[in-house]
Amino acid sequence: MFRNIKIFFFLVCSVSVYAQVFPVAPFEKTGKSFNQDFWQQVDDIFNDPNFVGANWGVVIRSLETGEYLYKRNENKLFMPASCLKIFTTISALEILGKDYRFKTNVFLNGTLDGSILQGDVIVQGFGDPTISDRFYNGDLFYVFNSWADSLAKLGIDEINGNLIGDDNAFDDNGLAPGWAWDDESYWYSAPTGALSFSDNCVGISVRPSQNGLPAMISVSPESKYVTILNKVNTVEANIESDVNVFRERGTNIITVYGRIGENSEEKKVYATINNPTQFMMVVLKEVLQQKGIKVNGYAADIDEELINPDYNGMVKLLTYYSPSLSEIVKVINKNSQNFYAEQLLKTLGYEKEGFGSIENGIHVIKNFFGEIGINPEMMIMVDGSGLSRLNLITPKQMTDLLTYIHSKDNFKVFYESLPVAGVDGTLARRMRKTKAENNVRAKTGYISGVRSLCGYVYSADNEPLIFSVFVNNYIVPSALADNLQDLLCLRLANFTRK
């Protein structure tokens, strides 16, 4: 262990380099010789005694020569955690295309009587995850305000009917197999839906008041759809703040609890909601009324109405299109956004199988893998984000997929979606001031006892390399696993055949 630490600090002191984007072309054979000491040096990293009870799976391959520089348990099955998002995003880019955009239709099911719509407004969704503030400079209601403006242009200032959300493009199973019940309150377990708003979460801002008094709380969106119970106490300034959330299962009653220091800055936490479709319709109704459009009916999920709408007989008010898939995969990979990944998985099922379900999405991905030479029978995939502990893949499968996409037109989009070491995303604070900074582009993964890192790096000879690293079943702090994975990246960035 001490030897590894010395090597680590030596490499940390190396001068950083700026990496160019990998050429989008197949690798060619060269006459470069292989460094015989390299294998033993990498073995030394992963033989760290802190991980004697854990399992490492590693593959390192040269994109220039095609040779494997190192393999360890390459065909063993590992839980990949969020590195599974590589499977989802590459498949989506290749199957749907980088210019794919989600659509949402707004229909008027009624007649116009002066300025009054006698009938319902029906919103038909197809899985768009982007109706939020993420792409609109922090304006959470940008899309809804634009819909309200479209109604106003028709002279409508009153809707004598209901707002109905049609989410039948997807199933109603919001959570994936193997997701933990005690995670359901948290943003990273947000439920999926053909209609979704604000990542199917509410943001809760907590500010201190006076010592001994309840904290001050605000919610975004501020909506009657959720009930917030404030159990956060303001404590002395020298006590560390700790704020958490809990949503009662099957309800929208959210308890915010913990403590916040008297002089602390505002803390923001996020809680999931129940029934994304109804959440979206309720908030849409509130926005319309704030814009001066009276809604006499109620906001509802189409399942509650038990209707089968005939859209051919309705007036389509508008079709809203999301940002392109090339922008969406950046959110998924750089920020490791589970909700977006799950929406994308079901969208693959909808577009290719006619119905958005996890099962259909995985079927589409496995068919794609079979076509490109990755055996889909030798893996288990149960979600699109990697949050489930039931997912099992091999390091070699990951490396094969990263090799495949390197020669395709979508490589540049995928490559630019990956976190950059020391710069952004989930790698922003790792490998700084080393030769790996601004060089390594890789997806991270974490669930309890699992840490993964998969991506690309340039060697000291400017040779492009692929690496896939998984560790499962460790019980030491995750920072130690990060250190060993970072140490490998530093070794690769300093690797030379000369």
As a whole number of Å, the CA-based R_g of the chain is: 25
Largest Cα–Cα separation, the chain: 83
3-state SS class at 378: helix
Q: Give the whole-angstrom CA distance, residue 6 versus residue 58.
A: 22
Backbone angles phi, psi at 83, to 5 degrees: -65, -15
60 C-beta neighbours (distance < 10 Å), count: 26
Q: Give the whole-angstrom CA distance, residue 31 versus residue 74.
A: 26
3-state SS class at 233: strand
Instruction: Note whether 461 and 407 are within 8 A (CB).
Output: no
Q: Give the whole-angstrom CA distance, residue 382 versus residue 235.
A: 43
Residue-wise DSSP of 184-230: TTBGGGPPP-SS-SGGGEEEEEEE--STTSBPEEEEES--TT-EEEE
Q: Give the whole-angstrom CA distance, residue 187 versus residue 183.
A: 9
Residues 6+ apart with CB under 8 A from 314: 107, 108, 109, 122
Instruction: Note whether 293 and 151 are within 8 A (CB).
Output: yes
Query: Which residues are bridge partners to 243 per DSSP?
Result: 258
Decide the pairing of beta strands 242-247 and 227-235. unpaired
Distances (CA, A) of 2 to 8, 12, 49, 287, 491: 10, 15, 10, 60, 16
Backbone angles phi, psi at 393, to 5 degrees: -140, 170
Instruction: Note whether 430 and 486 are within 8 A (CB).
Output: yes
Residue-wise DSSP of 297-327: S-EEEHHHHT----GGGSEEEEEEEPPPHHH
Where helices occur in 372-477 by DSSP H, the ranges are: 395-406, 411-417
Q: Which residue has the tokens 């391959």?
A: 61
Instruction: Note whether 109 and 309 are within 8 A (CB).
Output: yes
Q: Which residues are catalytic?
A: 82, 85, 336
Judge residue 252's burial from the number of C-beta atoms within 10 Å of its C-beta, 0-12 exposed, 13-18 middle, 19 or more buried.
Answer: buried
Decide the pairing of beta strands 55-62 and 68-72. antiparallel
Query: What strands lie across the sheet with 201-207, from one edge to the other?
Result: 216-220, 201-207, 267-272
Q: Give the whole-angstrom CA distance, residue 427 versus residue 320.
A: 33
